[in-house]
Amino acid sequence: MSALEIHQFPFVWDDNYGVLIHSAETGETTCIDCGDAKAYQQALDDKGWNLTHIFITHHHADHTTGVLELKEKNNATVIGPDYLGANPIKGIDQRMKDGDTFQFAGKEIQVIYTPGHTMDLICYYIPEDAVIFVGDTLFAMGCGKHFEGTPQMIWESLKKIHALPPETLIYCSHEYTQENAEFAIQIDPNNEALKARMVEIDQKRSADLPTVPFTLATELATNPFLRANDSGIRQQLGMEDAPEVDVFTEIRIKRG
């Protein structure tokens, strides 16, 4: 099977990105989340693709507000987390837990449960295409805030992403990159890879280009939330001998 075609588009909420994933071979199309049915339908119409599936990462409104409308309009199958919290997601047909796999367009999709930001957050990983859709688990040089879980929980979740092949392409749900970079350089001021990346993202943003997606390898070199074992960061925080989870927690709390 050839690689799936991925179309990312911005929509107005909180610098959100929507994503469509399409197989030219089977004609199937899915989207990641749907905060805004109109924006997603416009993107589908622009591409001339028929929506067959919707994959939901977590319950937050900017990820789910348009799900029912888009589902009904396209008669799509909705896949989402099998974790019911205070705000259960409406319209889910198939519920997924950590380690579950399912087929989409002839590809195996692996579900990775990454709680912390919310208690229902799941990522969709496609090993054959080396791509993952992480919702608000991880951002370029940042990570999701612990709204429902704890920093320690996010740390455990990020370890699952950390373990993927470094060439994995990561799609997250927000363009928070520049503000994340400003924080990252305070924590990791002597990181030359980070400095170079900041120049690159400033160029992209001034040309109105997205900084998403990015590779895991780039994050491992520049994202302080994945670098809790880095000696420079530890020195900067005065935590040379602390456990990794404590270093991560300190960074997460400092980020606010």
Binding site for Zn ion (CB under 5 A): 60, 136
* Residue whose CB is less far from Zn ion, 60 or 146: 60
- Range list of β-strands (E), the chain: 5-11, 16-22, 29-32, 53-55, 77-81, 94-96, 101-104, 107-113, 122-126, 131-135, 138-139, 142-143, 169-172, 214-215
Minimum distance from residue 116 beta carbon to Zn ion (Å): 11
Name the phi and psi angles at 142, rounded to 5.
Answer: -150, -175
Minimum distance from residue 38 beta carbon to Zn ion (Å): 20
* Residue whose CB is less far from Zn ion, 60 or 107: 60
* Residue whose CB is less far from Zn ion, 36 or 136: 136
* Residue whose CB is less far from Zn ion, 118 or 191: 118
Q: Which residues pair with 174 in a beta bridge?
A: 16
- Residue 24 host element (H or E): none
**Contact by Cβ (8 Å): 57, 173:** yes
Minimum distance from residue 35 beta carbon to Zn ion (Å): 10
Distance from C-alpha of 71 to C-alpha of 52, rounded to nearest angstrom = 9
Minimum distance from residue 117 beta carbon to Zn ion (Å): 6
